Structure 1
């Protein structure tokens, strides 16, 4: 096997596509027999022969996405037979791409997190609920939940945390037993938060990013008065022993 294979993704029928990070970076390779034989997929017509496309992810429905540090995202909807370039995003370098099998694609581009749910035709920023630190590792679980490790600063004074995003359309049953739970949601006069530790930090921001609520939990469940909140979308960020989660809260009075 070529030594410059770096990333790979497998579809539901067993086809695995490998990305390159080296002299053959403008090509992908695929196997349908667990690696016994490999065939190349050329991307020269899209990215030329000087760029690399090591990142690869599967999005369900025969769709793969690939990208390189200095390329745009490229998509195949026929399990890698043909490829087309997605809409160009903001300037920067792609650090990683991940998709779940409901079709949501998330891209880490120069530390900015962007997402597409229409096959790469449009990309929107996902900064709400994230700190202004450098986004690092992006990954997705088999049940469709995205995780993002965010870090900045020195080893003496590190900042950041681990964030997750659960797509409303994600497949399968997601185990939430270890994550904070909000109810009711939509809320009116109050919202309850359980499955948290004592002294967990709780912050609520509105859709513009303005801090509305900032407190520390006194128990493993909290009841927050929201009767003075105006109708709209808010984001609750919880830092529980270094694990940071951000969830959407809807207020309907």
Structure 2
């Protein structure tokens, strides 16, 4: 899929993995809609790449529809959906004091990470289906979802996060099969430990990040957001990649804690 002259929607596009992806797609000539809750950062990123910002709660049907419509309204055919919005949460199923996991928090993580991903995928793919095929294969577009290796090897206290990311992994193949009829490919990336602004700055943050990166076999460091964006771009451009879940983790395998 050629990115030049198409439109794309990137959820969570105001920072971290999403921002890096927005910049990578725009550099290839795509008109990108930055769909995010953070208006200040989202507008700044969109302005810098010549894109469009739409304040978007991915769990809202109306707001996701508005973000997708903004991509359609650019006049460039909508070809790309990248789901990178997500939240984390740490809590045991039953705490050390015997308290059960808070249900509302679990539901929030599932709603944002899993339902939000499905929401943008379904609405975005429906809009893509209305475009003309881009090549002789009948390809119309690509969906890239972001899960996590926590969805495969969830650690202690990751029950909500792992369930949400495992659900995204579980959607990959059936979604690819469902959307094959309209010429849309679906792939999922499972990042490991990636260096994003969430870890902060300074000596304490650097020490914490070094501890996180210590179990990575090679390279002995955290992944970069730019490397994630490069993989997104590669999966979009490689027309035979479909229905796959790809680990992006430097070879790390999570231990229980």
Computing the radius of gyration over CA atoms, which structure comes out larger, 1 or 2? 1
When you count helix as a share of all residues, which structure comes out higher? Answer: 2
Which bin holds the TM-score, normalised by the shorter protein? under 0.3
TM-score by length of 1: 0.26
When you count strand as a share of all residues, which structure comes out higher? Answer: 1
TM-score by length of 2: 0.26
Specify which structure has the bigger relative contact order, considering alpha-carbon pairs within 8 angstroms and separated by 6 or more residues: 2
